[in-house]
Structure 1
Amino acid sequence: MMKLYYAPGACSIGTHFLMEEMGLTYDTGRLDLKQGDQLKPAYLDVNPKAKVPALVRDDGSLLTEFVAIAFWLGRTYPEKGMIPEGMEAEVRTLEMLDYAVATIHMQGFSRLFRPAKFARSEAEHDWVREQGRAVVDKAFGIVSERLGSSDFIMGDRLTLADAALFYVLFWGVDRVKLDVPENLAAYYARLRARPSAQKVFADEGIQFS
Protein backbone atom coordinates (compact mmCIF):
# COMPACT_ATOMS: atom_id res chain seq x y z
CA MET A 1 0.00 0.00 0.00
CA MET A 2 1.19 3.52 -0.76
CA LYS A 3 2.10 5.77 2.14
CA LEU A 4 1.90 9.56 2.04
CA TYR A 5 4.05 11.50 4.47
CA TYR A 6 2.58 14.91 5.22
CA ALA A 7 2.64 17.77 7.70
CA PRO A 8 -0.69 19.36 8.67
CA GLY A 9 -1.35 22.45 6.59
CA ALA A 10 1.89 22.21 4.61
CA CYS A 11 1.95 21.98 0.82
CA SER A 12 1.43 18.25 1.25
CA ILE A 13 -2.21 19.05 1.99
CA GLY A 14 -2.57 19.45 -1.77
CA THR A 15 -1.24 15.93 -2.36
CA HIS A 16 -3.50 14.64 0.40
CA PHE A 17 -6.47 16.36 -1.28
CA LEU A 18 -5.53 14.94 -4.68
CA MET A 19 -5.29 11.37 -3.40
CA GLU A 20 -8.67 11.68 -1.71
CA GLU A 21 -10.20 13.10 -4.88
CA MET A 22 -8.84 10.12 -6.79
CA GLY A 23 -10.31 7.68 -4.28
CA LEU A 24 -6.98 5.92 -3.73
CA THR A 25 -6.16 3.48 -0.97
CA TYR A 26 -3.13 4.60 1.00
CA ASP A 27 -1.65 4.96 4.45
CA THR A 28 -0.29 8.19 5.95
CA GLY A 29 2.61 9.29 8.08
CA ARG A 30 2.14 12.55 9.98
CA LEU A 31 5.07 14.87 10.72
CA ASP A 32 5.21 17.83 13.07
CA LEU A 33 7.58 20.24 11.37
CA LYS A 34 7.71 22.59 14.35
CA GLN A 35 8.99 19.71 16.47
CA GLY A 36 11.56 18.86 13.82
CA ASP A 37 10.16 15.45 12.88
CA GLN A 38 11.49 15.93 9.34
CA LEU A 39 15.04 16.05 10.71
CA LYS A 40 14.85 12.95 12.87
CA PRO A 41 16.64 9.77 11.78
CA ALA A 42 13.39 7.82 11.43
CA TYR A 43 12.17 10.17 8.70
CA LEU A 44 15.55 10.85 7.13
CA ASP A 45 15.81 7.11 6.54
CA VAL A 46 12.65 7.46 4.45
CA ASN A 47 13.36 10.82 2.82
CA PRO A 48 16.86 12.32 3.10
CA LYS A 49 15.49 15.59 1.67
CA ALA A 50 13.76 16.16 5.04
CA LYS A 51 10.62 17.62 3.50
CA VAL A 52 7.05 16.83 2.55
CA PRO A 53 5.22 15.57 0.62
CA ALA A 54 6.88 12.20 0.23
CA LEU A 55 5.17 9.17 -1.25
CA VAL A 56 6.31 5.61 -0.71
CA ARG A 57 4.82 3.64 -3.58
CA ASP A 58 3.51 0.10 -3.63
CA ASP A 59 6.89 -1.26 -4.69
CA GLY A 60 8.61 0.48 -1.77
CA SER A 61 10.27 3.17 -3.87
CA LEU A 62 10.17 6.79 -2.74
CA LEU A 63 8.87 9.69 -4.81
CA THR A 64 9.23 13.30 -3.66
CA GLU A 65 8.35 16.81 -4.88
CA PHE A 66 4.75 17.95 -5.29
CA VAL A 67 4.75 18.20 -9.08
CA ALA A 68 6.44 14.83 -9.60
CA ILE A 69 4.07 13.05 -7.23
CA ALA A 70 1.00 14.66 -8.79
CA PHE A 71 2.13 13.80 -12.32
CA TRP A 72 2.95 10.21 -11.36
CA LEU A 73 -0.46 9.77 -9.74
CA GLY A 74 -2.20 11.20 -12.79
CA ARG A 75 -0.28 8.96 -15.18
CA THR A 76 -0.55 5.85 -13.03
CA TYR A 77 -4.32 6.17 -12.63
CA PRO A 78 -5.47 7.68 -15.95
CA GLU A 79 -9.02 6.48 -15.35
CA LYS A 80 -9.31 9.12 -12.61
CA GLY A 81 -9.12 11.85 -15.26
CA MET A 82 -6.71 14.13 -13.42
CA ILE A 83 -4.71 14.80 -16.59
CA PRO A 84 -6.93 15.99 -19.45
CA GLU A 85 -6.72 14.31 -22.82
CA GLY A 86 -4.89 16.05 -25.62
CA MET A 87 -1.46 17.65 -25.68
CA GLU A 88 -2.65 21.25 -25.31
CA ALA A 89 -4.88 20.52 -22.33
CA GLU A 90 -2.15 18.44 -20.70
CA VAL A 91 0.56 21.08 -21.01
CA ARG A 92 -1.80 23.82 -19.82
CA THR A 93 -2.56 21.71 -16.75
CA LEU A 94 1.15 21.22 -16.08
CA GLU A 95 1.77 24.92 -16.72
CA MET A 96 -0.67 25.94 -13.98
CA LEU A 97 0.50 23.16 -11.67
CA ASP A 98 4.07 24.38 -11.93
CA TYR A 99 3.04 28.04 -11.60
CA ALA A 100 1.24 27.33 -8.32
CA VAL A 101 4.22 25.47 -6.87
CA ALA A 102 7.24 27.25 -8.34
CA THR A 103 5.93 30.81 -8.27
CA ILE A 104 3.02 31.22 -5.85
CA HIS A 105 4.50 28.88 -3.24
CA MET A 106 8.25 29.08 -3.67
CA GLN A 107 8.59 32.73 -4.73
CA GLY A 108 5.60 34.16 -2.90
CA PHE A 109 4.56 32.33 0.24
CA SER A 110 8.10 31.23 1.07
CA ARG A 111 8.95 34.92 1.52
CA LEU A 112 5.81 35.56 3.54
CA PHE A 113 6.31 32.60 5.87
CA ARG A 114 10.11 32.42 6.08
CA PRO A 115 11.68 35.82 5.40
CA ALA A 116 14.84 34.82 7.26
CA LYS A 117 15.70 32.50 4.38
CA PHE A 118 15.89 35.51 2.06
CA ALA A 119 17.56 38.12 4.28
CA ARG A 120 20.04 37.82 7.13
CA SER A 121 19.05 41.05 8.80
CA GLU A 122 15.78 41.03 10.70
CA ALA A 123 15.38 44.66 9.67
CA GLU A 124 14.86 43.44 6.10
CA HIS A 125 12.21 40.85 6.91
CA ASP A 126 9.27 43.18 6.37
CA TRP A 127 10.67 44.11 2.96
CA VAL A 128 10.98 40.42 2.09
CA ARG A 129 7.38 39.82 3.15
CA GLU A 130 6.26 42.74 0.99
CA GLN A 131 8.03 41.20 -1.98
CA GLY A 132 6.35 37.87 -1.29
CA ARG A 133 2.95 39.51 -0.98
CA ALA A 134 3.46 41.25 -4.32
CA VAL A 135 4.28 37.94 -6.00
CA VAL A 136 1.20 36.27 -4.52
CA ASP A 137 -1.15 39.14 -5.37
CA LYS A 138 0.04 39.29 -8.97
CA ALA A 139 -0.14 35.52 -9.34
CA PHE A 140 -3.65 35.26 -7.93
CA GLY A 141 -4.69 37.91 -10.43
CA ILE A 142 -3.29 35.82 -13.26
CA VAL A 143 -5.01 32.68 -11.96
CA SER A 144 -8.27 34.61 -11.61
CA GLU A 145 -8.10 35.70 -15.23
CA ARG A 146 -7.37 32.15 -16.37
CA LEU A 147 -10.21 30.74 -14.25
CA GLY A 148 -12.84 33.18 -15.47
CA SER A 149 -16.29 31.77 -14.78
CA SER A 150 -15.23 28.11 -14.98
CA ASP A 151 -15.83 25.66 -12.16
CA PHE A 152 -12.20 24.48 -12.25
CA ILE A 153 -8.98 25.89 -13.62
CA MET A 154 -9.15 23.68 -16.73
CA GLY A 155 -12.87 24.04 -17.26
CA ASP A 156 -15.57 21.72 -15.97
CA ARG A 157 -13.36 19.00 -14.48
CA LEU A 158 -10.93 18.93 -11.58
CA THR A 159 -7.30 18.22 -12.52
CA LEU A 160 -3.85 18.06 -10.96
CA ALA A 161 -3.58 21.83 -11.19
CA ASP A 162 -6.59 22.33 -8.93
CA ALA A 163 -4.86 20.32 -6.19
CA ALA A 164 -1.91 22.71 -6.24
CA LEU A 165 -4.16 25.77 -6.31
CA PHE A 166 -6.12 24.28 -3.43
CA TYR A 167 -3.13 24.43 -1.10
CA VAL A 168 -1.88 27.89 -2.08
CA LEU A 169 -5.41 29.27 -1.75
CA PHE A 170 -5.75 27.54 1.61
CA TRP A 171 -2.65 29.44 2.68
CA GLY A 172 -3.83 32.70 1.15
CA VAL A 173 -7.46 32.71 2.22
CA ASP A 174 -7.47 30.72 5.46
CA ARG A 175 -3.99 31.30 6.88
CA VAL A 176 -2.97 34.77 5.74
CA LYS A 177 -6.52 36.10 5.25
CA LEU A 178 -5.72 37.75 1.93
CA ASP A 179 -8.35 39.40 -0.19
CA VAL A 180 -8.43 37.49 -3.45
CA PRO A 181 -10.46 38.15 -6.60
CA GLU A 182 -14.14 37.30 -6.22
CA ASN A 183 -14.14 34.43 -8.69
CA LEU A 184 -11.05 32.95 -7.04
CA ALA A 185 -12.64 33.16 -3.59
CA ALA A 186 -15.73 31.36 -4.91
CA TYR A 187 -13.55 28.74 -6.61
CA TYR A 188 -11.66 28.05 -3.38
CA ALA A 189 -14.93 27.87 -1.46
CA ARG A 190 -16.11 25.17 -3.87
CA LEU A 191 -12.89 23.20 -3.44
CA ARG A 192 -12.99 23.64 0.33
CA ALA A 193 -16.56 22.31 0.49
CA ARG A 194 -15.80 19.10 -1.39
CA PRO A 195 -16.00 15.89 0.69
CA SER A 196 -12.35 15.16 -0.08
CA ALA A 197 -11.25 18.51 1.33
CA GLN A 198 -13.41 18.11 4.42
CA LYS A 199 -11.90 14.68 5.07
CA VAL A 200 -8.37 16.02 4.63
CA PHE A 201 -8.99 18.92 7.01
CA ALA A 202 -10.39 16.49 9.58
CA ASP A 203 -7.55 13.99 9.15
CA GLU A 204 -4.93 16.74 9.50
CA GLY A 205 -6.67 18.31 12.48
CA ILE A 206 -7.24 21.64 10.77
CA GLN A 207 -10.06 23.66 12.28
CA PHE A 208 -11.58 26.93 11.18
CA SER A 209 -12.87 29.68 13.42
Structure 2
Amino acid sequence: MLKLYYAPGTISIAVALGLEEAGLAYEPVKVDFAAAAQTKPEYLAINPKGRVPALITEAGTILTETGALLEYIADLAPQAGLIPTDAEEAAHMRSVMFYLASTMHVAHAHKMRGSRWADKPESHADMQAKVPQTVRASAEYVQSDCLRGDFVLGDRISIADLYLFIVCNWIEGDGVPRKDFPEIDAFLPRMDARDSVKSVRAKGML
Protein backbone atom coordinates (compact mmCIF):
# COMPACT_ATOMS: atom_id res chain seq x y z
CA MET A 1 0.00 0.00 0.00
CA LEU A 2 1.12 3.55 -0.67
CA LYS A 3 2.17 5.55 2.38
CA LEU A 4 1.68 9.33 2.42
CA TYR A 5 3.52 11.55 4.89
CA TYR A 6 1.52 14.74 5.36
CA ALA A 7 0.87 17.66 7.70
CA PRO A 8 -2.53 19.36 8.05
CA GLY A 9 -2.72 22.79 6.49
CA THR A 10 0.12 22.13 4.06
CA ILE A 11 0.26 21.48 0.34
CA SER A 12 0.67 17.77 1.10
CA ILE A 13 -3.11 17.54 1.37
CA ALA A 14 -3.32 18.04 -2.41
CA VAL A 15 -1.61 14.66 -2.76
CA ALA A 16 -4.14 13.04 -0.41
CA LEU A 17 -6.88 14.48 -2.61
CA GLY A 18 -5.17 13.02 -5.66
CA LEU A 19 -5.10 9.57 -4.06
CA GLU A 20 -8.77 9.88 -3.20
CA GLU A 21 -9.73 11.05 -6.70
CA ALA A 22 -7.72 8.18 -8.20
CA GLY A 23 -9.34 5.62 -5.91
CA LEU A 24 -5.98 4.40 -4.63
CA ALA A 25 -5.59 2.88 -1.18
CA TYR A 26 -3.02 4.60 1.02
CA GLU A 27 -1.85 4.89 4.59
CA PRO A 28 -1.72 8.50 5.82
CA VAL A 29 1.11 9.25 8.25
CA LYS A 30 0.92 12.59 10.03
CA VAL A 31 4.14 14.54 10.48
CA ASP A 32 3.71 16.65 13.61
CA PHE A 33 5.02 20.09 12.66
CA ALA A 34 4.12 21.46 16.12
CA ALA A 35 6.68 19.05 17.56
CA ALA A 36 9.12 19.82 14.71
CA ALA A 37 8.97 16.17 13.66
CA GLN A 38 10.00 17.19 10.14
CA THR A 39 13.42 18.19 11.50
CA LYS A 40 14.10 14.93 13.35
CA PRO A 41 16.42 12.21 12.03
CA GLU A 42 13.53 9.74 11.66
CA TYR A 43 11.75 11.92 9.13
CA LEU A 44 14.88 13.31 7.50
CA ALA A 45 15.76 9.73 6.63
CA ILE A 46 12.57 9.72 4.55
CA ASN A 47 12.79 13.24 3.15
CA PRO A 48 16.13 15.04 3.70
CA LYS A 49 14.43 18.31 2.74
CA GLY A 50 12.42 18.14 5.97
CA ARG A 51 9.19 18.93 4.17
CA VAL A 52 5.95 17.24 3.21
CA PRO A 53 4.64 15.51 1.21
CA ALA A 54 6.61 12.32 0.88
CA LEU A 55 5.15 9.20 -0.67
CA ILE A 56 6.48 5.68 -0.29
CA THR A 57 5.45 3.52 -3.22
CA GLU A 58 4.50 -0.13 -3.05
CA ALA A 59 8.01 -0.91 -4.30
CA GLY A 60 9.46 1.01 -1.36
CA THR A 61 10.67 3.98 -3.40
CA ILE A 62 10.45 7.38 -1.71
CA LEU A 63 9.04 10.17 -3.88
CA THR A 64 8.70 13.87 -3.02
CA GLU A 65 7.41 17.18 -4.43
CA THR A 66 3.69 17.79 -4.78
CA GLY A 67 3.52 18.18 -8.54
CA ALA A 68 5.58 15.06 -9.17
CA LEU A 69 3.45 13.03 -6.77
CA LEU A 70 0.23 14.21 -8.39
CA GLU A 71 1.57 13.22 -11.82
CA TYR A 72 2.65 9.83 -10.46
CA ILE A 73 -0.79 9.20 -8.97
CA ALA A 74 -2.50 10.18 -12.21
CA ASP A 75 -0.23 7.76 -14.10
CA LEU A 76 -1.11 4.95 -11.67
CA ALA A 77 -4.83 5.49 -12.28
CA PRO A 78 -5.30 6.64 -15.90
CA GLN A 79 -8.95 5.65 -15.71
CA ALA A 80 -9.54 8.59 -13.35
CA GLY A 81 -8.71 11.01 -16.18
CA LEU A 82 -6.77 13.40 -13.97
CA ILE A 83 -4.42 14.43 -16.80
CA PRO A 84 -5.87 15.45 -20.18
CA THR A 85 -4.79 13.65 -23.32
CA ASP A 86 -4.79 16.84 -25.38
CA ALA A 87 -1.26 18.28 -25.43
CA GLU A 88 -2.29 21.92 -25.15
CA GLU A 89 -4.69 21.25 -22.28
CA ALA A 90 -2.02 19.25 -20.51
CA ALA A 91 0.44 22.11 -20.96
CA HIS A 92 -2.06 24.57 -19.47
CA MET A 93 -2.68 22.24 -16.53
CA ARG A 94 1.05 21.96 -15.86
CA SER A 95 1.63 25.68 -16.30
CA VAL A 96 -0.89 26.31 -13.52
CA MET A 97 0.83 23.79 -11.24
CA PHE A 98 4.28 25.24 -11.96
CA TYR A 99 2.97 28.75 -11.26
CA LEU A 100 1.48 27.67 -7.95
CA ALA A 101 4.72 25.96 -6.93
CA SER A 102 7.13 28.66 -8.05
CA THR A 103 5.18 31.83 -7.30
CA MET A 104 1.95 31.66 -5.29
CA HIS A 105 3.14 29.10 -2.74
CA VAL A 106 6.40 31.01 -2.32
CA ALA A 107 4.49 34.28 -1.74
CA HIS A 108 2.46 32.52 0.95
CA ALA A 109 5.60 31.07 2.55
CA HIS A 110 7.08 34.54 2.99
CA LYS A 111 4.57 35.06 5.82
CA MET A 112 5.97 32.32 8.07
CA ARG A 113 9.11 30.92 6.44
CA GLY A 114 11.21 34.02 5.85
CA SER A 115 14.23 32.29 7.36
CA ARG A 116 14.49 30.29 4.15
CA TRP A 117 15.57 33.43 2.33
CA ALA A 118 16.98 35.85 4.90
CA ASP A 119 18.50 35.97 8.38
CA LYS A 120 17.66 39.44 9.70
CA PRO A 121 14.35 39.88 11.57
CA GLU A 122 13.71 43.12 9.71
CA SER A 123 13.98 41.22 6.43
CA HIS A 124 11.41 38.70 7.67
CA ALA A 125 9.10 41.56 8.67
CA ASP A 126 9.46 43.14 5.25
CA MET A 127 8.57 39.88 3.54
CA GLN A 128 5.55 39.41 5.81
CA ALA A 129 4.32 42.91 5.05
CA LYS A 130 4.50 42.21 1.33
CA VAL A 131 2.40 39.00 1.48
CA PRO A 132 -1.07 40.55 1.02
CA GLN A 133 0.15 42.33 -2.12
CA THR A 134 1.93 39.38 -3.69
CA VAL A 135 -0.79 36.86 -2.86
CA ARG A 136 -3.43 39.25 -4.23
CA ALA A 137 -1.47 39.51 -7.47
CA SER A 138 -1.36 35.72 -7.63
CA ALA A 139 -5.10 35.46 -7.01
CA GLU A 140 -5.70 37.91 -9.83
CA TYR A 141 -3.65 35.73 -12.15
CA VAL A 142 -5.45 32.57 -11.04
CA GLN A 143 -8.79 34.19 -11.77
CA SER A 144 -7.83 35.68 -15.12
CA ASP A 145 -5.59 32.99 -16.58
CA CYS A 146 -5.75 29.72 -14.66
CA LEU A 147 -9.43 28.93 -14.19
CA ARG A 148 -11.17 28.34 -17.53
CA GLY A 149 -14.64 27.76 -16.16
CA ASP A 150 -15.58 25.61 -13.20
CA PHE A 151 -12.08 24.14 -13.13
CA VAL A 152 -8.62 24.73 -14.58
CA LEU A 153 -9.64 22.77 -17.69
CA GLY A 154 -13.16 24.15 -17.82
CA ASP A 155 -15.77 21.51 -17.14
CA ARG A 156 -13.61 18.68 -15.75
CA ILE A 157 -11.21 18.22 -12.90
CA SER A 158 -7.48 17.61 -13.17
CA ILE A 159 -4.58 17.34 -10.75
CA ALA A 160 -4.07 21.11 -11.07
CA ASP A 161 -7.40 21.71 -9.33
CA LEU A 162 -6.29 19.70 -6.31
CA TYR A 163 -3.17 21.85 -6.01
CA LEU A 164 -5.16 25.04 -6.60
CA PHE A 165 -7.78 24.14 -4.01
CA ILE A 166 -5.25 23.93 -1.20
CA VAL A 167 -3.36 27.09 -2.19
CA CYS A 168 -6.52 29.16 -2.60
CA ASN A 169 -7.70 28.09 0.84
CA TRP A 170 -4.74 30.04 2.22
CA ILE A 171 -5.50 33.42 0.68
CA GLU A 172 -7.77 34.83 3.38
CA GLY A 173 -5.15 34.01 6.02
CA ASP A 174 -2.73 35.94 3.82
CA GLY A 175 -4.91 39.04 3.99
CA VAL A 176 -6.74 38.59 0.68
CA PRO A 177 -10.56 38.39 0.95
CA ARG A 178 -12.08 35.60 -1.15
CA LYS A 179 -15.07 37.79 -1.95
CA ASP A 180 -12.81 39.99 -4.08
CA PHE A 181 -12.35 37.04 -6.45
CA PRO A 182 -15.74 35.58 -7.38
CA GLU A 183 -14.35 32.78 -9.57
CA ILE A 184 -12.09 31.56 -6.76
CA ASP A 185 -14.89 32.04 -4.25
CA ALA A 186 -17.10 29.76 -6.37
CA PHE A 187 -14.32 27.26 -7.08
CA LEU A 188 -13.61 26.48 -3.43
CA PRO A 189 -17.12 25.27 -2.44
CA ARG A 190 -17.33 23.41 -5.74
CA MET A 191 -14.26 21.47 -4.66
CA ASP A 192 -15.56 21.11 -1.11
CA ALA A 193 -18.54 19.23 -2.49
CA ARG A 194 -16.35 16.53 -4.03
CA ASP A 195 -16.16 13.12 -2.35
CA SER A 196 -12.36 13.34 -2.26
CA VAL A 197 -12.44 16.46 -0.12
CA LYS A 198 -15.16 15.05 2.11
CA SER A 199 -13.12 11.88 2.64
CA VAL A 200 -9.94 13.76 3.53
CA ARG A 201 -11.89 15.95 5.95
CA ALA A 202 -13.44 12.86 7.54
CA LYS A 203 -9.93 11.50 8.11
CA GLY A 204 -8.97 14.69 9.93
CA MET A 205 -6.34 15.60 7.38
CA LEU A 206 -7.89 18.83 6.13
TM over 0.5: yes
For the residues of structure 1 that align with 2:205 and 2:92, how far apart are their CA atoms? 33
CA shift for structure 1 position 44: 2.2
For the residues of structure 1 that align with 2:28 and 2:164, how far apart are their CA atoms? 22
For 1:30, the aligned partner's letter is K
Q: Which residue of 2 aligns with 1:179?
A: 177
Q: Which residue of 2 aligns with 1:200?
A: 200
CA shift for structure 1 position 177: 5.7
CA shift for structure 1 position 195: 2.4
Q: Which residue of 2 aligns with 1:126?
A: 125
Q: Contact 2:132 / 2:174 at 8 angstroms: preserved in 1?
A: no
Gaps of at least 5 residues in structure 1 are none
For the residues of structure 2 that align with 1:19 and 1:177, how far apart are their CA atoms? 31
Matches within 5 A, 1:1-209: 1-106=1-106, 108-146=107-145, 150-173=149-172, 175-176=173-174, 178-180=176-178, 181-204=181-204, 206=206
CA shift for structure 1 position 153: 1.2
Q: Contact 1:116 / 1:125 at 8 angstroms: preserved in 2?
A: yes
Q: Secondary structure at the match of 2:170?
A: helix
CA shift for structure 1 position 15: 0.9
Q: Secondary structure at the match of 2:132?
A: helix
For the residues of structure 2 that align with 1:169 and 1:123, how far apart are their CA atoms? 27
What's the C-alpha RMSD, in Å, of the aligned pairs? 1.8
For the residues of structure 1 that align with 2:58 and 2:151, how far apart are their CA atoms? 30
Q: Give the length in aligned residue pairs.
A: 204
Q: Contact 1:112 / 1:133 at 8 angstroms: preserved in 2?
A: no
Measured against aligned partners, the alpha-carbon deviations of 1:22-55 in whole angstroms (never above 9, x if no partner) come to 2211111111112111122222222222211001
CA shift for structure 1 position 61: 0.5
After superposition, the Cα gap between the structure-2 partners of 1:11 and 1:202, relative to the gap in structure 1 and judged at 3 Å, is same
Measured against aligned partners, the alpha-carbon deviations of 1:160-182 in whole angstroms (never above 9, x if no partner) come to 11011011012124x44621301
After superposition, the Cα gap between the structure-2 partners of 1:205 and 1:55, relative to the gap in structure 1 and judged at 3 Å, is closer
CA shift for structure 1 position 148: 5.7
After superposition, the Cα gap between the structure-2 partners of 1:115 and 1:49, relative to the gap in structure 1 and judged at 3 Å, is closer
Measured against aligned partners, the alpha-carbon deviations of 1:76-100 in whole angstroms (never above 9, x if no partner) come to 2211101011110111111101111
For the residues of structure 2 that align with 1:21 and 1:40, how far apart are their CA atoms? 31
Q: Secondary structure at the match of 1:5?
A: strand
CA shift for structure 1 position 140: 0.9
For the residues of structure 2 that align with 1:32 and 1:56, how far apart are their CA atoms? 18
After superposition, the Cα gap between the structure-2 partners of 1:23 and 1:177, relative to the gap in structure 1 and judged at 3 Å, is farther
Q: Contact 2:3 / 2:56 at 8 angstroms: preserved in 1?
A: yes
For the residues of structure 2 that align with 1:16 and 1:99, how far apart are their CA atoms? 20
